[in-house]
A and B are shown apart, each in its own frame.
Chain A
Amino acid sequence: MRDTRRARMSLGVLLAAALALMTVDHRAGANSPLSPLRTAGAELFGAAESAGAGFVRPIGRFFETMTAAPDAQRRIDALRAENQRLRRDLTAQALDRQHSAELGRLLGVAGIAGYRLVPAQVIARRGTPGFEEAVQLDVGSADGVRSEMTVLNGDGLVGRVVQVSTSTSTVVLLSDPASAAGARLEGSNEIGVVHGVGQNGRLLRFRLLDSTAQVVPGRRIVSFGSQRGAPYVAGVPIGVVEHVEATPGELTRIAYARPYADLTALDVVGVVVQAPRRNPRDAVLPDVPREGADGGA
């Protein structure tokens, strides 16, 4: 019985304390003397709660992820398909834009020089560096293309047609070592022959027939033209001289030129089906190359 009395007494004391707490807190309101207690509790348990929440949140997220997984998988599939479609569209668009730009440049050249061009696209390429550089175009005799016709693009001379089928034709590029094209220096009558040197079409060898002629790097080369425009029409820009080889005692001078047309990355080209009535001479040459900059397109 003594135990019970003690228990009752302690209960009474505790209840009285609780009631006192409530009364004080309720009466005092905002500026209650118990607010330090509250603040301390907030500090202590707040830290514990944030730690607990940090521990619990990943678990909760894991279960959320698990329950949402099938839906998420479906979404991922749909998004991936959409992404693929968009990427394809974008690539197609970029290609179309590039084609359009090249065609525009080609038309500009044709308009200035008065060529009649058949636009064509490169569909195959054979390149054995140093031996053979040829591409296949998607135009043929049905489009009016004959062999020994000049092929150029918006930047400059590309090569000549060597073989024609009904719907395709083969073009030997300028960079083919076996090809030779008559050329002359811009603005003068110095004439020479352009050979390919392989090197992936990066350089052309320009053999100047007059060994005393002045050739300096930066001079530009245009095609000299052949009889009735076959195989090369006159006045097509070929390239810009990069360096001159000293050949003392020889009958010819040799210069190396960088072609205007990027012969390794051909896409849209034009076949000249009718030569201009009048030699356009230097009219279609690109702008004078600035010092150190590349001269072509």
Chain B
Amino acid sequence: MGRDVASVGVLLLALVVQVTVVNRLPLPGGAAPDLVLLTVVGYALARGATAGAVMGFCAGLAGDVLPPAAHVLGQYTLVLCLIGFAAGRVADSRPDARLPAALACAAAGPPALAVTSLLLGDAQIGGEALVATLPWEVGYNLLAAPPTVWLVMRIARGPRERELRPVGHLVRRRA
């Protein structure tokens, strides 16, 4: 229970920090890493597909209503829900492939958001802006992914499981 509360707290913090700090950093390329996406990925990698999808849904909904928001309500929800589910599935089926999964999700986030916006006919996203900004966004996401995802996974996993994990490794090796 405590770790869920901590995860939600981290998510809210990420939402606010994203719009107050990260988006206003004068980074080259005019883009910034998406901390909310990375938080959802980390949570899903630690807790599995169902929890990841639910968390992605909630985070996306919060991100949709988070001011300043001028897009159709629900598109961030859809994308984050899908990404949370995908990350959780990978963590469920192949626990040793977490790092590539995290990087893949981080890279897939911005294009997926852009595609949903395009599908909904959002006039704000033109083709040129897409080509100019998307690579930067993907790059920043990839750079920020390892530390953010690691931190969120540590928080989402909770203290008890961290203590138990080495024992589990030993048991598996003996068997």
Interface status of A18 (Cβ within 8 A of chain B): yes
Q: Which of A18, A26, A41 contacts B67 (CB 8 A)?
A: A41
B16: Cβ under 8 A from any A Cβ: yes
Q: Which residues between 10 and 31 of chain B lie within 8 Å of chain A, taking CB atoms?
A: 12, 15-17, 19-21
Question: B77 → chain A, closest Cβ, in Å?
Answer: 4
**From B54, B61, B66, residue with most partner A Cβ within 10 Å:** B66
Cα–Cα distance between A73 and B42 once the two chains are bound (Å): 46
**Nearest A residue (CB) for B48:** A7
| B79-113 contact mask (Cβ, 8 Å, vs A): 1 or 0 | 00110010011001000000000000000000000
Determine if B21 and A22 form an interchain contact, defined as CB atoms under 8 angstroms apart.
Answer: no
The answer to whether A11 has its CB under 8 Å from any CB of chain B is: yes
Interface SS majority for chain B: helix
Kindly identify which residue among B64, B67, B75, B92 contacts A49, using a CB–CB cutoff of 8 Å.
Answer: B67
B16 touches A3 (CB 8 A): no
Within 8 A of A (CB), among B34-62: 48-50, 53-54, 56-57, 60-62
Contact B57–A48 (Cβ < 8 Å): no
Q: A18-B57, A48-B12 are in contact. Are A11 and B69 (CB under 8 A)?
A: no
* B72 in contact (CB, < 8 A): yes
A22 B120 Cβ-Cβ under 8 A:
yes
Q: Is the CB of B78 within 8 A of A18?
A: yes
Question: What's the count of A-B pairs with C-beta under 8 Å?
Answer: 97
B62 contact set on A, CB distance < 8 A: 41, 45
**Who on chain B is nearest to A40 by CB?**
B65
Docked Cα-Cα span, A11 to B19, in Å, equals 28
Does B77 contact A7, Cβ atoms closer than 8 Å?
A: no
Q: Is A56 an interface residue (CB 8 A)?
A: yes
In the complex, the answer to whether A49 meets B21 with C-beta atoms within 8 Å is no
Query: Which A residues are in CB contact (< 8 Å) with B139?
Result: none
Report how many residues on chain A are interfacial, defined by Cβ distance under 8 Å.
30
Name the contact of A48 in the complex, choosing from B16, B48, B60 (C-beta under 8 A). B16
B-contacting residues, A1-43, CB 8 Å:
3-4, 6-7, 10-11, 14-15, 17-22, 25-26, 32, 34, 37-38, 40-42
- Contacts A21-B77, A37-B73; is A45 near B15 (CB within 8 Å)? yes
Main secondary structure of the interface of A (DSSP, over half): helix
In Å, the complex CA distance between A22 and B75 comes to 6
Q: Which of A10, A19, A37, A42 has the most CB of B within 10 A?
A: A10
Nearest A residue to B88 via CB reads A7
- Which chain A residue has the least Cβ–Cβ distance from B58? A14
Docked-complex contact A32 and B73, CB < 8 angstroms: yes
Judged by a CB distance under 8 angstroms, whether A46 is at the interface is: yes
Judged by a CB distance under 8 angstroms, whether B135 is at the interface is no
- Specify which chain B residues have a CB less than 8 angstroms from the CB of A292 in the assembled complex: none
State the CA gap A159–B120 with chains docked (Å).
Answer: 100
Given contacts A45-B67, A48-B12, A52-B20, whether A11 and B85 have CB atoms under 8 Å apart is: yes
Are B20 and A49 in contact, CB atoms less than 8 angstroms apart? Answer: yes
* B22 shortest CB reach to chain A, Å: 10
* Chain B residues near A25 (CB-CB < 8 A): 72-74
CA distance A4 to B90 in the complex (A): 11
Residues of B within 8 A of A7 (CB): 48-50, 53, 85, 88-89, 92
A46 to B73, CA, bound (A): 17
- A45: which B residues are within 8 A, CB to CB? 15-16, 62, 65-67
23 A–B pairs (Cβ distance < 8 Å), ordered by A: A4-B49, A6-B50, A7-B50, A11-B49, A11-B50, A18-B57, A18-B74, A18-B77, A20-B74, A21-B61, A21-B73, A22-B72, A22-B74, A38-B69, A38-B73, A41-B69, A45-B62, A45-B66, A45-B67, A49-B16, A52-B17, A52-B21, A53-B20
Q: Could you tell me which B residues sit within 8 Å of A by CB distance?
A: 12, 15-17, 19-21, 48-50, 53-54, 56-57, 60-62, 64-67, 69, 72-75, 77-78, 81-82, 85, 88-89, 92, 120
Instruction: List 6 tightest A-B contacts by C-beta distance, closest first.
Output: A41-B65, A21-B74, A22-B74, A7-B49, A25-B73, A18-B78
- 9 new A-B pairs (CB below 8 Å) besides A19-B78, A41-B62? A11-B81, A22-B75, A32-B73, A34-B73, A38-B65, A41-B69, A42-B65, A48-B12, A52-B20
Interface residues of A (CB under 8 A from B): 3-4, 6-7, 10-11, 14-15, 17-22, 25-26, 32, 34, 37-38, 40-42, 45-46, 48-49, 52-53, 56
